Amino acid sequence: MEKFLQDFVYYLSVEKGLAANTLDSYGRDLNKYLHYLKQNGITDFAETGREEISRFLGVQRDMGLAPASVTRSLAAVRSFYQFLMKEQIIEVNPARELETPRSEKQLPHVLSCDDVELLLEQPECGKVGGQRDRAMMEMLYATGIRVSELVSLDINNVNIKMGFLRCIGKGSKERMIPLGSVAIKSLQDYLKNSRGKIIKNKEEKALFLNQQGKRLTRQGFWKILKKYSLKAGINGDITPHTLRHSFATHLLENGADLRSVQEMLGHADISTTQIYTHLTRQKIKDIYNQTHPRA
């Protein structure tokens, strides 16, 4: 049974081109499912049906898993059985008819424009590390890219003259995102004054480097962002995704159309982007309640 899981993850990686994080999530969820089946004496996927899958999801809920995590587990199991059908290991996908658990969509945490300004002012741009940190945060807010995409950037992914960033996102899909003038200026300062002082190997292609002259990691950037959010005294748990959410929300609040924001964020489905319209509607409602004499 483990061999089938390995083959499936390999299939997702090679034929579907899924990102490493997605592969890890599928692997974790399916290993939990495999462990559950073994605990219940099932040693062949062909012996499983809807009942086993439903009970497995019920155990996940009883263990306190969030509805979104249970939904993700079901999606992983459903995709895995579809793969087994493709490989002619089973004839019917027992997960196909199972209803996806309904979950309330949590509205993302978004910073105000003032808080974004405050955060971006925190790095000391007179220092090598400060220029790098300011450039990274400016780029994250200016483009809405994911932190994994940010740290994966190479120097040749940025065209400063044209004011565009070439980003390779989920599923190895490429998208072009415009850079604002402030982000361009911060990036120019970093490239001119700081990167050359950090780099150890002249062949290094990574745009953003750590103190050892190697590509900065996601964890490294998280620590940097956490440091500046504490320094700024901004309430709430700020993550790299907070800047991504703020980017999308501020664009929509200022008149950007949903399709353009979807394109820049790299969302395959516009329904994913529509979560941000709930935030802008809420802001309109708050303004109405605060200002209308009969609100």
Q: For 25-64, what is each residue's pLDDT tens digit?
A: 889 999 999 999 999 898 888 888 888 898 998 898 888 8
- Tally of residues, the chain: 295
Mean pLDDT of 185-202: 94
Residues 6 or more apart whose Cβ sits within 8 Å of residue 246: 110, 111, 116, 141
pLDDT at 20: 83
What does the DSSP assignment read for 152-183? T-BGGGEETTTTEEEEE-GGG-EEEEE--HHH
List the 174-178 sheet strands across, edge first: 158-159, 164-168, 174-178
225-239, 249-263, 268-282: which range is least confident on average? 268-282
Mean pLDDT of 76-83: 92
Q: What tens digit of pLDDT does each residue of 54-63 get?
A: 899 889 888 8
pLDDT bracket for residue 108 (50, 70, 90)? confident
Specify the DSSP element, H or E, that contains 237. none
**How buried is residue 147: exposed, middle or buried, by Cβ count under 10 Å (0-12/13-18/19+)?**
buried
pLDDT at 292: 67
pLDDT at 103: 55
pLDDT bracket for residue 116 (50, 70, 90)? very high
Percent above pLDDT 70 for the chain: 95
What does the DSSP assignment read for 48-117? --HHHHHHHHHHHHHTT--HHHHHHHHHHHHHHHHHHHHTTS-SS-TTTTSPPPP-PPPPPP---HHHHH
pLDDT over threshold 60, residue 206: yes
Instruction: Give yes or no for a contact between 81 and 93, defined as CB atoms under 8 angstroms apart.
Output: yes
Name the residues annotated as catalytic: 146, 170, 241, 244, 267, 276
Q: How far apart are alpha carbons 275 and 272 in whole angstroms?
A: 6
Among 185, 214, 217, 182, residue whose Cα is nearest residue 198: 214
Which amino acid is located at 78 in the chain? R
Measured in degrees and rounded to the nearest 5, phi and psi for residue 285 equal -65, -40
Tell me which residue has tokens 């800047």.
Answer: 243
Q: How far apart are alpha carbons 63 and 295 in whole angstroms?
A: 44
Among 111, 165, 172, 175, residue whose Cα is nearest residue 142: 165
Q: What tens digit of pLDDT does each residue of 132-177 get?
A: 999 999 999 999 999 999 999 999 999 999 999 999 888 788 999 9
Beta pairing partners, 215? 209
Residues 6 or more apart whose Cβ sits within 8 Å of residue 100: 71, 74, 75
Q: How far apart are alpha carbons 257 and 158 in whole angstroms?
A: 25
- Residue 73 CA, chain-centre distance (Å), reads 18
pLDDT at 18: 80
Mean pLDDT of 116-141: 95
In the chain the domains, ranked by start, together with CATH numbers, are 2-86 (1.10.150.130), 113-289 (1.10.443.10)
pLDDT over threshold 80, residue 201: yes
At 213, is the secondary structure helix, strand, or coil?
coil
Instruction: Give yes or no for a contact between 54 and 206, defined as CB atoms under 8 angstroms apart.
Output: no
pLDDT at 106: 65
Count of CB atoms situated within 10 Å of the CB of 116:
20
Mean pLDDT of 268-294: 77
Q: How far apart are alpha carbons 138 and 157 in whole angstroms?
A: 16
22-36, 198-212, 266-280: which range is least confident on average? 266-280
pLDDT over threshold 70, residue 104: no
pLDDT at 141: 96
Output the average pLDDT for the chain.
88
